[in-house]
Structure 1
Amino acid sequence: MKLSREQYLKARDFILTNARMIERRLFHYHFEGGPAKGVFHAVYAYRNRDGGFGHGMEPDTASPESQPLFSVMALETIEEVGLLNKELLLSDFMPYFEEVTTDKGGVPWMFRPTSSYPCADHFKTVKEWAALSTTAPLLGILYKYEVDIPWMNTADQFVWQELDRLQEKHLFCHLCTPRRLQFLQFHPDRNRAKKELKKYKDWLQTSEIICDDYADEGWGLYGKPHRLYFAPHPNDVLSDSFTTSDIARDLNALIQKQKPDGRWDTWYGLSEGMKLEWAGIQTLWTLKTLKAYDRIEF
């Protein structure tokens, strides 16, 4: 099964009429030959004077304060379109990350907003301690671009300690998985990284975290991930953890989940506008995944 051209055009129109500028520019880049520089400028619209990124870069909050998670998201997006380099990393990103690093050597996930701007309840009670989901991907990118700065030594110790401590108890959010994998993919200690990756693959194949109930309205959302979140591209590091037939079934189910207006939906969002923003993010992710598996009739 493939997404028909008519279905693809509906998804395109949904993104272009409802999604944020950042998703629209990413769509232009991935599907219509748009310039990477357009994505860069859309990302930097969220940047603050302290070098961090805020202003609701994740639609769960409208608060302007810089947040470590949003800054990692910005970094990942710049890399996605091929504009990241060592110089940009050190000049535009690391000063902020070094400033917010805790005594343990890790970067917090989020800080509680100090403004009165609307935000989701879970931000108001967030634990402001060092997190694997922000520190690991940052280190992975630094290793990938062969950066060597003193900050990395303590951060590296923190990540390994967290991997040993948490094991798989913290996988409520499948979106954290690619960020952990990036650390393991590019870590210079290849033997240690490969052993950790094998442990993760073994757990993934024996756990019950994958949701196979395609009729479940929560299929593919928090707590009920499908295989494609762990392997959004056939060449991803976790792709060999799943059979070809299982991946094919999930792809078919994903195509069938498209709504009549072209979107792939989520239940997230404080308002109808924020729900549309989340749907734009989800629709773009789905199109990129279907394209990677050659499941779109252009």
Structure 2
Amino acid sequence: MKLTKVNYLKARDFILANARMIERRLFQFYFENDNAEGVYHAVYAYRNQDGGFGHGMEPDTASPESQPLFSIMALETLDDVGYLTKEIIRDDFMPYFESITTEKGGIPWMLKPKSNYPCEAHFKTVKERSALSTTAPLLGILEKYKMDLPWMIKAEQFVWGEFDRIKDKHVFCYLCVPRWLMFLKHTKNQKTAIKTINNLKHAIGNQGIICDDKSDEGWGLYGKPHRLNYATNSNSVCSSLFSSEDIESDLTALISKQKDDGRWDTWYGISEGTKLEWAGIQTLWALEVLKNYGKIEN
């Protein structure tokens, strides 16, 4: 089963009419052969004078304040489209990350808001401590671009210690796992990395994490991941966990979940506007996965 051309065009129109500029530029990059410079400018619209990224880069908050997670998201996006360079990392990103590094050597997931803006409740109760989900991908990108910074020494000690501490906890978070893998793929300590990857794969495949109830409204969303969340393409690290039949079944279900107006929906959003923003993010993600598996009609 493939997404029909008609339904692909519905998804395109939904993104172009409703999504944020960053998703529109990413769509044009991935599907309409646009260059990466447009993505760069869309990403930098979220940048603050302190070098961090804010302004609701994740739509769960309307706060303009810089946040570590949003800055990681910006870094990942530029890497994904091939626009990132050593100079951009060193000059535009590292001063901010160094300024928020904790005594343990890592960077927090989020910082408590200093001002009162609409946001989900979990933003108001964050603990400002070093987090694996932000420190690991930053280290991974630094290793990928063959950078050698003093900051990396203590950060790497923190990351390996955190892997030992959490073991197989949080593998249910399909947003965290790829960020861990960014580090594990590029670290020089491949012997330990391979062992850690195998432990992660074992936990994902044997802890009942995958939601097989395709009739569940939350299927594939946060808390109820499906296989495609962990294997966004056939070359994903976790692809070997799943049979081709199960992947095909999830792809068929993903196609069937498209709404009449072209979107793939979520339950996220602090307002009707941010629900549309999240739907734009989810729709772009669905199209990318279907494209990766060759499931969009020409």
Whether the TM-score (by the shorter chain) exceeds 0.5 is yes
Correspondence 1:38-187 to 2 at 5 A: 38-187=38-187
Take 1:61 and 1:202, find their aligned partners in 2: how far apart are those partners? 34
Question: Which amino acid letter does the alignment assign opposite residue 106 of structure 1?
Answer: G
Q: What's 2:267 paired with?
A: 267
Give the structure 2 partner of residue 285 of structure 1. 285
Distance 1:199 1:60 in 2: 31
Structure 2 CA distance, aligned partners of 1:249 and 1:168?
Answer: 27
Question: Deviation per CA, 1:257-276, whole angstroms, max 9, x where unpaired?
Answer: 00110000000001000000
- CA distance in structure 2 between the partners assigned to 1:32 and 1:155 by the alignment: 39
Q: 2:15: which partner in 1?
A: 15
CA–CA distance in 2 between the matches of 1:168 and 1:194? Answer: 15
Q: State the secondary structure of the residue aligned to 2:176.
A: helix
Superposition pairs of residues 236-255 of structure 1, within 5 angstroms: 236-255=236-255
2:68 and 2:172 map into 1 onto residues whose CA distance is 20
CA distances 1:97-129 after superposition (whole Å, capped 9, x unpaired): 011000001100001111121111110111111
Question: Aligned partners of 1:231, 1:170: CA distance in 2, in Å?
Answer: 17
Query: 1:164, 1:245 → 2: CA distance?
Result: 34
Counterpart-to-counterpart distance in 2, 1:144 and 1:81: 15
Give the aligned partner of residue 30 of structure 2. 30
Read off the aligned partner of 2:28 and give its amino acid letter: H
Q: Which amino acid aligns with 1:228?
A: L
* CA-CA distance at 1:171 after TM superposition: 3.2
**Cα distance, 1:172 vs structure 2:** 4.3
Q: Contact 2:172–2:204 at 8 Å: present in 1 too?
A: no
Q: Which residue type is aligned with residue 169 of structure 1?
A: K
Task: State the TM-score, normalized to the length of structure 1.
Answer: 0.99
- Unpaired segments ≥5 residues, structure 2: none
> C-alpha separation between the residues in 1 aligned to 2:103 and 2:24?
39
Shift of 1:87: 1.3
How big is each residue's C-alpha offset from its partner over 1:220-279, in whole Å with a ceiling of 9 and x where there is no partner? Answer: 111100011111011111111111111111111100000110000000001000000000
Confirm or deny: 8 A CA contact 2:36 2:82 kept in the other structure. yes
Cα 1:144–1:29 shift into 2, 3 Å: same
Question: What secondary structure is seen at the aligned counterpart in 1 of 2:192?
Answer: helix
Aligned partner of residue 104 in structure 2, secondary structure: coil
Q: How many residues align structurally?
A: 298
Q: Which consecutive segments of 4 or more residues in structure 1 shift more than 6 A? A: none
